[in-house]
């Protein structure tokens, strides 16, 4: 069963995927996913938050291999990583099968999967494309 592509992702003109987050005008906190009510750090209201594009690149902080989960996709086993994005927020994401051996401290890059894939974005240790620095 496929899931709709969330509106949290986009592709730049050179094909590099990015995430859509928010930056607070008061305290500069960057959030992903966007906060629905306002800034969790300083309490600024939603109208004080700006949408920002976040590079889909960062550093692995933790990894775990999933052997059982409640959905059929992605098929098990797969590897999930906690990644601190270069633009600030930490997110959990699925790594490509080729990057299943990733370790804490590895640089990873987002790659867009086909539109009906789940998840629509995975991370890999290989450089993802133009516009993303190593
Ligand atoms: Zn704030």
Tell me the per-residue pLDDT of 68-108, one tens digit each, with 9 for 90 and over: 988 888 889 999 999 999 999 999 999 998 888 999 999 99
Give the distance (Å) from ligand 1 centre to CA of residue 38.
Answer: 8
- Ligand 1 centroid to residue 4 C-alpha, Å: 30
Distance (angstroms) between ligand 1 centre and the Cα of 9 equals 22
Calculate how far, in angstroms, residue 47's C-alpha sits from the geometric centre of ligand 1: 11
User: In this structure, what are the phi and psi dihedrals at residue 89, rounded to the nearest 5 degrees?
Assistant: -65, 155
Mean pLDDT, rounded, for 37-57: 95
Average pLDDT on 4-17 reads: 69
Domain parsing of the chain, residue ranges: 9-124
Point out which residues pair with 54 in neighbouring strands.
19
The more confidently predicted of residues 129 and 123 is: 123
Tokens of 37: 């009510």
How many Cα atoms occupy the beta-carbon half-sphere of 80 within 13 Å?
14
What SS3 class is residue 56? coil
Q: What is the pLDDT of residue 35?
A: 87
| Architecture of the structural domain at 9-124 | Beta Barrel (2.40)
Q: What was the pLDDT predicted at 11?
A: 74
**128/126: higher pLDDT:** 126
Whole-Å CA distances, 108 to 16, 29, 70? 13, 22, 26
Q: How far is the CA of 91 from the centre of ligand 1 (A)?
A: 19
CA of 39 to the centre of ligand 1 (A): 5
Q: Tokens representing 80?
A: 């999930």
In Å, what is the CA distance from 90 to each residue of 20, 63, 73, 79?
Answer: 13, 13, 23, 16
Identify each DSSP E strand in the chain by its residue range.
9-11, 17-24, 30-31, 49-55, 57-66, 78-85, 90-94, 107-112, 121-124
pLDDT, greater one: 4 or 42: 42
Residue 88 pLDDT = 93
Neighbours of ion ligand 1 (CB under 5 A): 24, 26-27, 29, 39, 41-42, 44
């Amino acid at each position: 069963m496929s899931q709709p592509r969330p509106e949290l992702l986009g592709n730049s003109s050179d094909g590099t995927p990015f995430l859509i987050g928010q930056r607070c005008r008061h305290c500069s906190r960057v959030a992903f996913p966007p906060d629905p009510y306002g800034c969790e750090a300083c309490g600024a209201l939603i109208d004080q938050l700006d949408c920002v594009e976040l590079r889909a690149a960062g550093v692995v902080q933790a990894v775990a291999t999933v052997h059982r989960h409640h959905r059929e996709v992605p098929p098990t086993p797969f590897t999930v990583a906690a990644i601190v994005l270069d633009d600030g927020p930490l997110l959990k994401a699925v790594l490509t099968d080729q990057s299943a051996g990733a370790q804490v401290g590895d640089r990873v890059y987002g790659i867009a999967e086909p539109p009906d894939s789940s998840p629509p974005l995975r991370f890999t240790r290989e450089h993802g494309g133009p516009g993303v620095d190593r």
